[in-house]
Amino acid sequence: RERNKDIAIVPMEGRHLNELAEISRLCFSMPWSRDGLAAELSSDTAHFWVAEEAGRCLGFAGMHAVCGECYVANVAVFPRFRRQGMGRKLVSGLVQEACRRNGEFITLEVRPSNSAAVELYSSLGFETAGLRRGFYESPKEDGLIMTLRLEDHAKTGEKRTGNTDFLGMDQT
C-alpha cells in the first residue's frame, strides 16, 4: 500500500545524517557511518535522496554517476515503513536522475535472499546481469548484479515506474 502524499523526496543534506546513519545501522549488516554519508555530500558524482515526512527521515537511496555509468550505492527504508511504496519512489528517482545525467545504464548489487528488493528492482525493469561471488558479509552471500539499460527504460519505463517526476525533473 502506498503511504500518503505528505512524504517528500529531497536531496540529502547535513541535517539528515544522524537519522540516515541510524537507518543504515538498522538495514545493513555493514552499515554506512555518519562520516561515510557526510563524505557523499561533497562528492560531485554522488546523488543521494531522502524520503521524509514532517521532517523525519524514513529512507534514503544514493548512487554515483560517472561517464554515463550509474551505480547504486544503497537503498534503505526504515523497517517499519517498508512495503509502502517508498523504496519504489526512491529507486525511481535514481533512475530519473540517471536519465537526466544522460546515463547509459544504472546497476546495483542485491542479496538474492532479499526477495522483496529483487522483486522491486525487477518490476522497475532491472534485469539480472551476473553474480559477484562472496560480495556480502555477515552473513556471507553472493551479490546479484541487476542492471537497467536506460535506452530500454526510455521506451518502456513509464509503464513500469509511473510518474517519477517527484524531483521536478520531468524530461518529456
DSSP type of residue 169? -
How far lies 145's CA from each of 110, 130, 149, in Å?
Answer: 7, 5, 13
For the chain, the 3-state helix, strand and coil shares in percent, each to the nearest 5, are 35, 35, 30
Identify how many contiguous H helices and E strands the chain contains and give both numbers. Answer: 5, 7
33 in Cβ contact with 116 (< 8 Å): no
How many other CB atoms sit within 10 Å of the CB of residue 50? 22
Q: Which of 22, 53, 71, 109 is catalytic?
A: 109
Is 121 part of the annotated catalytic residue set? yes
144 in Cβ contact with 168 (< 8 Å): no
Is 69 part of the annotated catalytic residue set? no
Using only the alpha carbons of the chain, give its radius of gyration: 15
Q: Which of 52, 97, 121, 136 is catalytic?
A: 121
Catalytic residues: 109, 121
